[in-house]
Every structure is written in structure tokens, then in C-alpha cells.
């Protein structure tokens, strides 16, 4: 790869920031759940996402052309990169945004997605040959117990809320599939050309969803513009690029462990912007979930 930002054999110097990169990723990725809540009052979830991915793909194409980054050379590479992006970025984002649009608080959606480390760890054994153990099963049980504590007051009583929660579960599964696929087939892709391709695929998919599910115009308010640019640049380009760097440099199950901090990040940002506080039961459930994920990541 000719670009220093490629995920190839030439290791980027800034990939040595083992401590800084995960923390930066958690803040940026966690902010995406709050960014969804900020922008969704002014556009449908698929419309918002179509605009977000379109902007991100344009920016990454411009950067790729400016630095003469290499593009995939075979149809197989194109398909693998597109597939990883469709699940890990597209399915995840569409399900998470729809869940938040239907009333799930950003921190709760982030908490459900925080089970990603356990799902990935359990699947990485048979799929990627990474070792799994009994702690991961116990961690999975604790994680689901924690999520239940957060959601128990409304699950089964409010059918609409239950559907919204299931969409967050779909987001979790999409992210896990995308992470595993990225690790298996796309670790050598260039960040900007590969990222541009993935965002373009997602923009097309979200445009199709927009025509089917969304109604009404986009309200170009200041809040929407801030959310749009933040989600496109900080999350779609910044956070996802950091995630792919970490996946390239480590076992995918270990990389996924940083997701357990996302509910905390989303909760802090949501409280600062919207005054949206969680109950004592929710904080207890969050703690149990974090403990479960941490236990599952022990070797």
C-alpha cells in the first residue's frame, strides 16, 4: 500500500498509540448514539443516514484521490469490502438509528451494542480460530442480565418499545458480523478507498430504505447540520477508521472489548446535551453488563 493510512503490512506509526486510539474511538463512536438523537427530529432515520454516508463517501474519495491511495484491484476485494461495510456500518446504523427514533435512549442502545465483545468472542473461535473459554459464556449471561435490569420496566408492557429494543439487538448483530467479516477478509484495505466504497454502498442502501420507510422533508436546522457533519466526519470517517486500524493490529475479540465503555460515553454526552439521566436500576444494570463484558475478555 502506498498510503501511510493503509491497513496493509506497512504499519502506520500512529497505530502505536495503543492507549490513545481506543479511548478516542470510544468517545467518537459513543457520540454517534447521541448524534442520532440530535438529528432525528429533523429527518427520518434512513434519510439522515443516506445524507451522512453520502457526505462521508465524497470526503473520502477526495482524500483518496489527493493522496493517490490505492483502490481494490479485483472484484473479490470490492465485494468483500462492500459486504463488511454493509453489515458493520449499514445494518448497524440503520437498526440503531431506527431504535433511537422509536424511543430507546442513546445510552440504552449503546448498552445493548456493548454486548458486541461477547458475541464477537464467541463467534471468533470457530470462524477465526481465536480461543474461547467458559468466562465468555458467564460474561454473556451477566451481560444479558445487566441489559434486562436496564430495560425491565418497559419490556413486555410497551410493545412499541420492545420492537425498538429488538432493533438495537439487530444493530448489535450487524456490527458483530461486520467486525468478523472485516477481520477475515478486509484487513489489508486502504482506509480511504475502502471506507469510501463502504459508505457509498451504505448510502445506496439507506436511500432505498428512505423511499420505503421515511416520510416528510428534511428540516435543515442548526442542530441537524451539526449532527450531520459530526456523524459523517467524526463517526463515519474518524471512529470507523480507528476501529479498522485496531482490528488490523489485534485479535478482533480483544478489539471488541473497548465497546463496553460506549454506554458510559453515550450516557455522559446525552446527559450533557439533553439532561437525559438514567435511573439507579439502569446504572446498576450498566455496571453488571460492563462486568460481564470485562469477565468475558479475560484470558
Q: Give the separation between CA 136 and CA 119, rounded to whole angstroms.
A: 9
Structure-block grid coordinates of residue 263: 454506554
pLDDT digits (tens, 9 = 90+) for 137-161: 787 778 778 877 876 765 555 668 8
Q: Report yes or no: 20 and 207 within 8 Å, Cβ to Cβ.
A: no
Judge whether residue 180 has pLDDT over 70. Answer: yes
3-class secondary structure, 219: coil
Cβ count near 268 (within 10 Å): 15
Q: Report yes or no: 116 and 290 within 8 Å, Cβ to Cβ.
A: no
Number of H helices, E strands in the chain: 14, 0
pLDDT band of 251, cuts 50, 70, 90:
low
Q: Give the separation between CA 132 and CA 299, rounded to whole angstroms.
A: 9
Q: Report yes or no: 34 and 266 within 8 Å, Cβ to Cβ.
A: yes
pLDDT at 248: 81
Q: Give the separation between CA 6 and CA 32, rounded to whole angstroms.
A: 24
Q: Report yes or no: 48 and 96 within 8 Å, Cβ to Cβ.
A: no
Structure-block grid coordinates of residue 277: 439521566
Q: Give the separation between CA 81 and CA 122, rounded to whole angstroms.
A: 23
Residue ranges of E strands in 182-296: none
pLDDT at 292: 77
pLDDT digits (tens, 9 = 90+) for 14-29: 344 556 788 788 889 8
pLDDT at 260: 72
Structure-block grid coordinates of residue 253: 475479540
Higher pLDDT residue, 1 or 33? 33
Q: Give the separation between CA 173 and CA 127, rounded to whole angstroms.
A: 15
| Model confidence, pTM | 0.81
Q: Report yes or no: 10 and 4 within 8 Å, Cβ to Cβ.
A: yes
Domain residue limits, the chain? 43-297
Exposed, middle or buried, 24 (CB in 10 Å: 0-12/13-18/19+)? middle
166: left (phi over 0), alpha (psi -120 to 50) or beta: alpha
- Tally the C-alpha atoms within 13 A of residue 114's C-alpha that lie toward its C-beta: 34
Q: What rounded mean pLDDT belongs to the chain? A: 84
Amino acid at each position: 500500500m502506498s498510503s501511510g493510512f493503509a491497513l496493509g503490512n506497512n504499519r502506520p506509526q500512529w497505530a502505536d498509540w495503543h492507549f490513545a486510539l481506543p479511548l478516542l474511538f470510544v468517545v467518537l463512536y459513543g457520540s454517534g448514539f447521541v448524534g442520532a438523537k440530535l438529528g432525528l427530529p429533523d429527518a427520518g432515520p434512513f434519510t439522515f443516514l443516506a445524507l451522512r454516508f453520502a457526505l462521508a463517501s465524497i470526503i473520502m474519495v477526495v482524500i483518496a484521490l489527493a493522496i493517490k491511495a490505492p483502490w481494490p484491484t479485483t472484484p473479490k476485494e470490492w465485494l468483500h469490502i462492500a459486504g463488511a461495510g454493509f453489515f458493520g456500518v449499514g445494518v448497524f446504523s440503520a437498526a440503531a438509528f431506527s431504535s433511537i427514533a422509536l424511543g430507546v435512549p442513546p445510552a440504552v442502545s449503546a448498552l445493548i451494542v456493548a454486548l458486541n465483545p461477547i458475541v464477537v468472542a464467541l463467534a471468533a473461535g470457530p470462524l477465526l480460530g481465536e480461543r474461547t473459554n467458559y468466562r465468555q459464556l458467564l460474561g454473556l449471561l451477566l451481560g444479558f442480565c445487566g441489559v434486562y435490569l436496564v430495560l425491565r420496566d418497559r419490556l413486555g408492557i410497551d410493545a412499541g418499545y420492545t420492537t425498538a429494543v429488538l432493533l438495537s439487538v439487530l444493530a448489535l448483530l450487524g456490527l458483530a458480523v461486520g467486525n468478523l467479516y472485516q477481520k477475515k477478509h478486509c484487513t489489508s484495505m486502504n482506509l480511504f478507498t475502502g471506507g469510501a466504497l463502504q459508505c457509498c454502498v451504505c448510502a445506496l442502501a439507506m436511500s432505498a430504505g428512505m423511499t420505503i420507510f421515511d416520510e416528510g422533508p428534511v428540516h435543515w436546522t442548526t442542530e441537524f447540520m451539526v449532527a450531520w457533519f459530526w456523524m459523517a466526519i467524526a463517526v463515519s470517517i474518524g471512529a470507523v477508521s480507528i476501529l479498522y486500524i485496531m482490528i488490523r493490529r489485534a485479535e478482533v475479540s480483544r478489539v471488541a472489548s473497548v465497546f463496553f465503555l460506549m454506554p458510559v460515553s453515550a450516557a455522559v454526552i446525552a446527559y450533557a446535551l439533553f439532561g437525559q439521566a438514567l435511573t439507579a436500576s439502569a446504572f446498576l444494570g450498566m455496571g453488571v453488563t460492563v462486568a460481564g463484558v470485562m469477565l468475558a475478555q479475560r484470558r
